[in-house]
Amino acid sequence: MTENHEKFMRMAIRLSEQNVKEGLGGPFGAVIVKDGKVVAKSANKVTTSNDPTAHAEVSAIRIASKKLKTYDLNGCVIYTSCEPCPMCLGAIYWAHIDTIFYANTKRDAAEIGFDDNFIYEEIALSMEKRKLPVVQVLRDEAIQAFRLWQESDLKIEY
């Protein structure tokens, strides 16, 4: 089993290296595997797609979901060349991926300028203490969509 983990991790690492060598984005790669087979793989596409959410893990999740025609990636594992950032970690949880395997640590990433620690610190604060202003507007109107969801026979829970 360790041999397979290393094989898939090497794929993620190669994606991260290739991304840098070709000038396509940050040094991050991810591979999603189900039943021992690669379902999706991607490198970081932030700068080439002008999409700040196009991290390797999120991009691979998008590809896997499309390929498998599901938003639920139960039974899948992800191999990522670096410990996931808060956004990617959230996406992995929402996708219901079974296990995360990673190579570099968030500390390694911080040492080369990819420091997500401020996000972890901000999340721990109450909204009024965060650096980015957060202002609630029109809750009384917006709550109607939640009520509709609660009562809908058409909803698909996820």
Query: How many other CB atoms sit within 10 Å of the CB of residue 11?
Result: 18
Token digits for 152?
A: 């809908």
Let me know: does 85 contact 30? Beta carbons within 8 Å.
no
d(CA 63, CA 21): 23
DSSP structure class, residue 93: H
Active site positions, annotated: 57
**First-to-final CA distance of the chain:** 31
d(CA 123, CA 45): 25
